[in-house]
Structure 1
Amino acid sequence: MNAPPSPSPSPSPRALWPDFWVASGHHLCDRDAQGRLMPTPDLWRAFLARPELLPPEEACEAERVLHAALLRDPLRPVDAATLARLADPDAAENWQVFLGFRDRVMAHPTLEAAWIGLYRAGVQGVPPLFLQMLTQLVTRAAMEGVEDAYVLRAAECLFRPQRAAIHQGALLLADEETVDARAQDGDFGTLGQLLAEAGSPPREVELDVLGAPDPAPYAARADAHDYALDIAETRPGQHALARALERFLAHVMGEEVSIRPAMVIEDQNWSWHVGLDTEATALANDLWHGKEVSQTRLARILWLGVLEFTEPSRVLPRAAGQPVYLALAMDAAQRVRLKPQNLLTGLPLLQAEAAS
């Protein structure tokens, strides 16, 4: 008599957890023991499949051959003579830019280390799209295991430009690209007027405000980037942004910190701050130097945070034991451009070590 079949092992809780930001290509990467991402040929094939790198109809045969060869072997070296055979000098320059980016990334053991290396050495000449894609990948790895939709939505701000809208106690952040696309399509809805005031065309745009921490509904729409986030005082989004920044710093930069939201900076010994965007940097610098700042400019500050290091020995002596104030602001057109690289260059660390 045959023995009864053994029961199938139950999947782990994480295996059942909904995936998110699938379009980032994180599933095309390997992971090291710390969960950091290691690029594979399949990840580079995903880059090569983007419209920006697909040869157009009018492309010469040499460009088509180059693209096909890279699809077969994305890490193959390409010499100057190969690029010189391309009929279009602009196409040759574009390929040189991509290959330079690929080689700079592959010079590091992980994508996280590459992200740090690129911003330390300078990103001049690297297309913003490539930097956005790389930032999304390392942010996705940093958010692995997060079970709070508010934190995941807040983390989108690290790699997706936002529009801000303030209305009836709500301080909403909405994805700029999504707002623009919905407005052009005439997809009407209740948040339209708010977002029109934030710079979108004068028509209504349908977006839902994230209203629950359950990650499943969020994950189902994560790649659409169509949830708005309320970061007003006491709202979950205000604290979620702090949690997202903590996760990013711990995973990408190896810095354990605690961050709490704040309404104002009331510190006679204010010694260090980091603006998370260009507008916030200028505002915080003016305030720190005691310059008069108009109420109109002050009203652009959307979020303040107080950062404290878990390991004080890594902090510059003149900032040791002191909080670091973080600021996020919108510009005059109510656009929000959070730059996580400002944390890399702006925190008072003795030596910011690359994650590897």
Structure 2
Amino acid sequence: MTPAADFWPGCGFQALARDARGWLVPSDEYLQWLLARPELALVPESCAAEIALHESLALSPARVVLSAELAAVQDDDARENYTVFLRFRDGLLAAGTLEAYYLQLMRSGVVNVPAVFIDAVVQALLRNLLDNCNDAFEARAAEMLFRSQRITLQDGQMLAGDRATLDMLNETAGLGEVGRLLLQSGALQPTAQVKVLSADNAAQYWQESDRHHFLLDLTHELTQDLSHGLTFKMTRARSGLKALARVLERWVGHLLGVQVQIEPVHQVTDSAWRWHVGLDVESTAILNDLYQDRPVDGERMARLVSLFTLTFANPAEMRADVAGKPVYLGLATNAEGVVRIKPQNLLLNLPLASVS
């Protein structure tokens, strides 16, 4: 697989194959990549049984593991980690593709694997559907579907930054434990080793994508004051919200086979509003309250990052009672200013026509 511009080299994508449908088939190499994650790495305290299990799986990652082998692992946490990994591995192999596994898991309502594995699957799926993407803004926006973002306002811009990266820089200035000690002593001030993605530096994204240090500008409109008290609003050509909308369109098309168009909007004025989907926990609650005419205070409303309209290319693919009507989407932060998108919401909650 040779993308137009390679990115996210650490997501295991190159170890996956595609089936005739274009969905990702797990291979031994991909399972070995999963096994090499820090959660499953051997440590000096690993017992002989854990070492033997790890080494045998590294050689034959799809092999059957007997319950006695797991029971022999002495450390409770290590034993649980391997149990979870094997449950995840067996689910992938039984489903046949990462897409089928993800859909089955989310539709089951019983998510029995940790978020770290689910995020790994989502990242691989996005890497697949963006394989021929040359737009760094879309690739950066796609990170929002598997990595939490901190939203900040700076000089009139709404910026999304990778939460883990920003927290690490704030705690250590990017210098590890030495940086942490220097910050605590006051000898070093936090430095913002992040930059806003722009047309001027977009080419750098592809080489630096695994560092997650680009901020995405989610500002949708620029307001310019004119004379005589007039203002002029102009939609940004490189809005991160537009890039996110394009990614969400691809996500729905790839996993549901339904073509939709998604556009960011500032407000919903539709008196016949019939259907909405929150892209996260907070926006789901806000949209539910607004739809039910329940009061939403100003502090909660201020958490809304954006609203979107979603329209189906073919209204016949919608439920008959809402066919042809727009679906409204919401995106919001929690009280700490963090956005955590739940990409499964779009797959589970759209008003799709029943398949007979």
TM-score, length basis structure 1: 0.87
Distance 2:16 2:76 in 1: 32
Alignment map for 1:167-246 (pairs within 5 Å): 167-186=154-173, 203-212=190-199, 216-233=203-220, 234-235=235-236, 236=238, 237-246=240-249
Correspondence for 2:97 among 98, 105, 110: 110
| Aligned-partner Cα distance in 1 for 2:167–2:242 | 27
Corresponding residue for 2:5? 18
Per-residue deviation, 1:206: 2.6
Measured after TM superposition, the shift of residue 346 of structure 1 is 1.2
Structure 2 CA distance, aligned partners of 1:148 and 1:328?
A: 22
Correspondence for 1:269 among 269, 272, 278:
272
TM-score, length of structure 2 as denominator length: 0.87
Q: 1:343 to 1:213 in 2, by over 3 A?
A: farther
Give the aligned residue type for 1:183: N
Ranges in structure 2 where 5+ consecutive residues have no aligned partner: 176-188, 221-234
| One-letter amino acid matched to 1:218 | Y
Structure 1 residues 116-125 or 285-294, which shifts more?
Answer: 116-125
Q: 1:1-356 residue pairs with structure 2 within 5 A?
A: 15=2, 17-186=4-173, 203-212=190-199, 216-233=203-220, 234-235=235-236, 236=238, 237-351=240-354
The offset of 1:81, in angstroms, is: 1.7
Q: Is the 8 A contact 1:149 1:213 kept in 2?
A: no
Distance (whole Å) between structure 1 residues aligned to residue 355 and residue 32 of structure 2: 32
8 Å contact from structure 2 (residues 105, 111) kept in 1:
no
Higher-RCO chain (CA-CA 8 Å, sequence separation at least 6):
1
Mapped contact 1:273–1:284 kept (Cα < 8 A): yes
RMSD of aligned C-alpha atoms?
A: 2.0
Does the aligned pair in 2 maintain the 1:150–1:213 contact within 8 Å? no
Secondary structure in 1 matching 2:95: coil
Give the whole-Å Cα distance in 2 for the aligned partners of 1:104 and 1:127.
13
Distance 1:290 1:45 in 2: 51
Q: 1:249 deviation in Å?
A: 1.1
**Residues 37/214 of structure 1: CA separation in 2 closer, same or farther (3 Å cut):** farther
How far 1:344 sits from its partner (Å)? Answer: 1.6
Q: Report the alpha carbon displacement of residue 205 of structure 1 after superposing the two structures with TM.
A: 2.4
Superposed displacement of residue 93, structure 1: 2.1
CA distance in structure 2 between the aligned counterparts of 1:16 and 1:344, rounded to whole angstroms: 26
